[in-house]
Amino acid sequence: MKLQVPRAYNFNAGPSALPLSVLEKAQAELIDFRGTGMSVMELSHRSRTYEEVHNQAINSLKDLLSIPDSYEILFLQGGASLQFSMIPMNFLKSGKKAGYVMTGSWSEKAFSEAKLFGDVFHAASTKDGNYRGIPKVDHLKYDVDDAYLHLTSNNTIYGTQWKDFPDSGDVPLIADMSSDILSKPIDVNKFSLIYAGAQKNLGPSGVTVVIIRKDLLEQANTSIPTMLKYSTHAKNNSLYNTPPTFGIYMLGEVLNWVRELGGLTAISQRNEQKAKFIYDAIDSSNDFYAGHAEKDCRSLMNITFNLKTAELEKKFLEQAKQEGFVGVNGHRSIGGCRVSSYNAVPLEACQAFSEFMIDFQTKNS
């Protein structure tokens, strides 16, 4: 039975929109998964049926991102926030330093956690400019013997996104890609470790994907708790303990949906078109709307902007909610407006919001 309720224009920053076709398939399979007489949530994670789901999701991610066999794919828990601690615990050894590129709140949090475990420094920062941009690749400062270099590929709060990534040579490059993984093609080979919470482009909340080079795994600290070792999960195919089985099932179905749409090239073109609707409304508004991010650093995932006055902004957000647009308020830490146009947000939703912006400006100029 298909869902009969009307769908919201869901611009939530996370958990965020999921593809309708994936939700419908999950609904159809919820009670009886593949003739087992059980929901996928009821299957043993040691069963052959679930193992097929698990491995299919891994293989789909490998295929879509062209991940070489020199990498392990892990399904963990604790969100990106736990990765902020796991990374330095595993790879920040005594006598080494780790560089963090500061581009927003999440890189700040990652840096703060890493400080608890060792010597860290700012490889670059755009904080003085209120995080409106991304540092130039050739402005990053780090040494060849550093433990690693960490960056956040997309900044959900400030609406900025890396367009090019550094070639860090022998220094392991680590990226938090929670909010733009799977939104465009990337060269995985540039990175030693990529991590991402699933709840924006990959699936529901509760799953964290880690893509890690096997040679980096071999360099990890060993005197840390078993569950916080990447090697523990790599050796056990992410089945050392009970994984979030339903979330992994949903992640696999989202990956199938991306493949059916044409893969990452098609998704990237679609995301550019969606973002263009909103950015065009901002750029043609004669400063009625003011975008936060510098134009060459604008995110395709999180479009952030303000209106001329706080009163006008409040009216805009109230009317947007009345029109059925959900999640348009900016992050509580900075306010303003934010449209999160992740993969599963339909093109029609961004077009409709652009038309609303233009209409609101016409009536309130």
pTM for this predicted structure: 0.97
Residue 4: pLDDT band with limits 50, 70, 90: low
Interaxial angle between packed helices 263-283 and 245-261, expressed in degrees from 0 to 180 and rounded to the nearest 10:
80
Q: Are 91 and 147 in contact (CB under 8 A)?
A: yes
Residue 333: pLDDT band with limits 50, 70, 90: confident
For domain 26-260, say whether CATH 3.30.950.10 is its number.
no
Q: Which of the following is catalytic: 184, 200, 229, 274?
A: 200
The 10s digit of each residue's pLDDT in 154-204 is 999 999 999 999 999 999 999 999 999 999 999 999 999 999 999 999 999
3 state DSSP class of 358: helix
Query: Percentage of the chain surpassing pLDDT 90?
Result: 97
Q: pLDDT at residue 2 above 70?
A: no
- Residue 1: predicted pLDDT: 39
Q: Are 98 and 114 in contact (CB under 8 A)?
A: yes
- Residue 293: predicted pLDDT: 97
CATH architecture observed for domain 263-364: Alpha-Beta Complex (3.90)
Q: Are 155 and 131 in contact (CB under 8 A)?
A: yes
Whether 106 sits among the annotated catalytic residues: the reply is: yes
The set of residues, in sequence order, having a beta carbon less than 8 Å from that of 119 and lying 6+ positions away, is 92, 96, 97, 98
- Amino acid of residue 330: G
| Both tokens assigned to 315 | 């009216």
Q: Which of the following is catalytic: 146, 162, 176, 184?
A: 176
What ranges do the domains of the chain cover? 26-260, 263-364
Tokens 């963090």 correspond to 100
Stretch 280-293: mean pLDDT: 97
Instruction: Tell me the pLDDT of the chain averaged across its residues.
Output: 97
